[in-house]
Amino acid sequence: MVTGLRLTVVILFVANVAAAALIVLRTHVPQPPLAVRVPGVPALHLLHEVPDLRESSPRPRLSAPKAAMRCLKLGPFTTQAEMRLAFAALGPHVGQIQYTVADSAVSRGWWVYLSASDRAEALSKARELSARGVRDYYVITAGERQNSISLGLFQDPANARRRLTQIRALGFAAQLRQRVEQVPQYYIEFALPPQPGFTWQRYVAHPDILVARTLACG
């Protein structure tokens, strides 16, 4: 009877010790930290928690280079009307197209003349010319060259020099000057189509007097 009572006490003691040990172990198990999220701030991750984006994200593809273009500058057109006709004819057959305007010095011929200080001197020289048989002259009465005596305007410089020599041989101090005028000239710039064999000459009038120069495409 005593032995059975002792056995019961031992069993109860061992059970109490095991229960106490289990309670102590549970109280010391580390709990995961509470995640605190602040609005507008991205969450932090350990390095081993972040997926490798190099494998999951596609690499950007470089766009194919544009085909090389060739551009021409065509001109000069002496009038705006001529340029507009050529512009309208070329437009449907080429790529980029635009026109430009540039002032250019153009020769208006070679002028032979006599200078005079005033109206009286100009008239006196005119009478002397007439007395020596010169009929082709004109006294300028207004403008920048007022009181000068015009002895001819020539497109060919050789003819102008012959006239100059003739008047000087009569004892007059004739002078020779090239008349230059600033006039607008028109050009068309366009990109050639990629198809080979394109000829711009078929779309413009008088292509033989125009010049086509290669230029960088803008």
CATH fold of 106-181 = Alpha-Beta Plaits (3.30.70)
Residue 154, token pair as written in the block: 């020539």
In this predicted model, what pLDDT tens digit does every residue of 13-43 receive, in sequence order?
656 655 555 555 555 545 544 444 444 444 4
What pLDDT is attached to residue 28?
Answer: 52
Contact (Cβ atoms closer than 8 angstroms) between residue 142 and residue 153: no
Burial of 37 (0-12, 13-18, 19+ CB in 10 A): exposed
Report how far residue 168's alpha carbon sits from residue 164's, in angstroms, rounded to the nearest whole number: 6
* Half-sphere exposure for 4 (CA within 13 Å, toward CB): 1
Least confident of 27-36, 86-95, 107-116, 132-141: 27-36
Share of the chain above pLDDT 90, in %: 58
In the structure encoding, which two tokens stand for residue 41, read together?
């701030």
Give me 81's structure tokens.
Answer: 């009307």
| Sequence spans of domains, the chain | 71-105+183-215, 106-181
Report the predicted TM-score, pTM, of the whole model to 2 decimal places: 0.47
Note whether 93 and 208 are within 8 A (CB). Answer: no
User: Is 50 exceeded by the pLDDT of residue 49?
Assistant: no
The answer to whether 86 and 154 are in contact (CB under 8 A) is no
Q: Please determine, looking at this structure, whether the domain spanning 71-105+183-215 carries the CATH number 3.30.70.
A: yes
pLDDT by residue (tens digit) across 57-88?
333 332 333 456 889 999 999 899 999 999 99
Q: Do domains 71-105+183-215 and 106-181 have the same CATH topology?
A: yes
